Amino acid sequence: MEGDSKMISPVLEYLERLHSKIADQLEGEVATYIPELARADKSHFGICLATIDGQLYEAGDTLKPFTIQSISKPFSYATALADHGYANVCQKVGVELSGDAFNAVSLDPKTGRPANPMINAGAIASTALMLGDTPAAKLVYMMAAYSKYAGCPLTIDEAVYISERDTGFRNHAIAFMLRNFGILEDDPVAMVDLYFRQCSVLIDCRDLAVMAATLAAGGNNPLTGIRALDEEHVASVQSVMGSCGIYDYAGEWTYSVGLPSKSGVSGGILAVLPGYLGIGVYSPLLDARGNSVRGIEVCKELSKYFGLHMFNVPHSTRAVVHRSYSGREVSSNRQRTAEEIEHLSLPSKRIRIYELQGELVFGTAEVVMRDILSIEDSLDYIILDMERVTGLNSIAYENYAERMR
Ligand code: DON
């Protein structure tokens, strides 16, 4: 590659391209069953990708606030697992698909146990497990737990909370049923109220991506370095997201996107590629199943383009840079022409060689691209030695081979 013009990250370039390709699509409807959500601006659309070492790539409206809604569910479940352990939590919430809508009063007829923590019944049961002697103490505890995932303090949208509380009769009914079976041990009114507040936590697209990246990084927030969740529970949370996170679209989602994910009715989608990155997308226009239309499209495109499907990505963590050095460090026995010698000895010819190895896929290629971009200004040539590369998927090929011309 000749360094005559500043390169922008190919990841960012692609996100911007994808954003403008999809921005004009205005299919779908904003949620109206919670009156306050109907006020959402249909044009808002943001995409953010966060790597497990804290690199953010953003396109569009990534700082527009919206309420977390059902995307809170895996994080309350995670908090419950961390505080009570799987055996205890499992007494109150299962891990099976319900096959019902998210707000169905779907409890085991004998035990009253909700099928999984991604439906409202299971979510209310998880929320009630927040530590604290009073609902107010539980709320403080919950906000602190969520903030660890996002890496910044979070607040509640009071208007959405009041709107949910005053219209969420079905959720009230679920909470009373849970109390009837002893799944809830506290006052059902207070616990469903806590759930309404939980759904009304304000986040933006960047927070979503960081929360996802925290799961991808095994529970450690990549921006703050603070541990949000013990590694032993991360796989459990991602498992329920993988099977139940997108409700009755879960099968096709796993097939075509292949990332544990969670959607919410305000239009957010969070997706995790374990060990590599988190994705946050926000667009409030929903399809008939209550998933963001543009959010689904973005996740499908990202997964296909970058080869992110979790059953496709090699789980090798081996560093892909075998060696990297400057042209001055290389001596050669090769006979050069006078012209070549003159060309190479020009002081402006700054050369860097990367000897790559192993599997070049999105996760490994992105790290090397970032290193190249950070020094690219001071280089005239970058040489990629692929001799030790054992595999190269199409996106890595595009990023390396074609762009390095
Ligand atoms: O329980 C409710 O109605 C909402 N507060 C949360 C709904 C939600 O996001 C459902 N999932 N997509």
pLDDT, residue 313, reads: 61
pLDDT in tens, 180-216: 999 999 999 999 999 999 999 999 999 999 999 999 9
Q: State both tokens at 123.
A: 């979510």
Domain boundaries, the chain: 10-306, 321-404
Residue 217 corresponds to which amino acid?
Answer: A
Q: Tell which residue, 32, 36, 192, 213, has the closest CA to residue 128.
A: 192
pLDDT in tens, 337-375: 888 777 777 665 688 889 998 888 888 888 888 888 888
Share of the chain above pLDDT 70, in %: 93
* 265 CB near ligand 1 (under 6 Å): yes
Which superfamily does 10-306 belong to? Answer: DD-peptidase/beta-lactamase superfamily (3.40.710.10)
pLDDT at residue 317 greater than cutoff 60: no
Q: Which atom belonging to ligand 1 lies closest to the Cα atom of 33?
A: 3
What's the residue count for the chain? 405
Place of tokens 């963001």: 292
Q: Which atom belonging to ligand 1 lies closest to the Cα atom of 199?
A: 5
> Contact 306/79 with Cβ under 8 angstroms?
no
Q: Compute the distance from residue 289 Cα to the ligand 1 centre, in Å.
A: 12
Q: State both tokens at 348.
A: 């402006």
Among protein residues, the one with the nearest Cα to ligand 1's atom 11 is 264
pLDDT at residue 325 greater than cutoff 50: yes
pLDDT, residue 47, reads: 98
* 292 CB near ligand 1 (under 6 Å): no
pLDDT at residue 403 greater than cutoff 50: yes
Using pLDDT thresholds of 50, 70 and 90, give the confidence band for residue 103: confident
Mean pLDDT of the chain: 91
Q: State both tokens at 69.
A: 């809604």
Longest Cα–Cα distance of the chain, Å, equals 90
Please state, in angstroms and as integers, the Cα–Cα distance from residue 83 to each residue in 297, 358, 372, 374, following that order. 36, 40, 43, 42
pLDDT in tens, 126-170: 999 999 999 999 999 999 999 999 999 999 999 999 999 999 999
Using pLDDT thresholds of 50, 70 and 90, give the confidence band for residue 318: low
Q: How far apart are CA 311 and CA 283, in angstroms?
A: 27
Lowest mean pLDDT: which of 71-75, 81-85, 107-111, 255-259?
107-111
Please state, in angstroms and as integers, the Cα–Cα distance from residue 243 to each residue in 115, 118, 253, 348, following that order. 12, 9, 10, 56
Q: What is the DSSP string of 74-105?
A: HHHHHHHHHHHHHHHHHHH---S---S-TTS-
Using pLDDT thresholds of 50, 70 and 90, give the confidence band for residue 24: very high
> Contact 75/203 with Cβ under 8 angstroms?
no
pLDDT at residue 402 greater than cutoff 70: no
pTM of the model: 0.88
Question: What are the respective helix, strand and coil percentages of the chain, to the nearest 5?
Answer: 45, 15, 35
* 102 CB near ligand 1 (under 6 Å): yes
Q: How far apart are CA 76 and CA 211, in angstroms?
A: 13
Share of the chain above pLDDT 90, in %: 71
pLDDT, residue 41, reads: 97
CATH of segment(s) 321-404 = 3.30.750
pLDDT in tens, 216-252: 999 999 999 999 999 999 999 999 999 999 878 888 9
Average pLDDT over residues 248-270: 95
Place of tokens 């949370």: 237
* 268 CB near ligand 1 (under 6 Å): no
Q: What is the CA radius of gyration of the chain?
A: 24
pLDDT, residue 399, reads: 59
Q: Give Cβ neighbours of residue 361 (< 8 Å, ≥ 6 apart).
A: 307, 313, 314, 391, 393, 395, 396
Give the SS3 label for residue 345.
helix
pLDDT, residue 2, reads: 47
Q: Which atom belonging to ligand 1 lies closest to the Cα atom of 120?
A: 1
- The crossing angle, in degrees rounded to 10, of helices 120-127 and 73-92 is 80
Using pLDDT thresholds of 50, 70 and 90, give the confidence band for residue 315: low
H/E element, 139: helix 135-150
Q: Which atom belonging to ligand 1 lies closest to the Cα atom of 265?
A: 9
pLDDT at residue 392 greater than cutoff 90: no
Our mutation pick for probing the ligand 1 site, out of 68, 102, 118, counting the most ligand atoms within 8 A of Cβ, is 102
pLDDT, residue 397, reads: 64
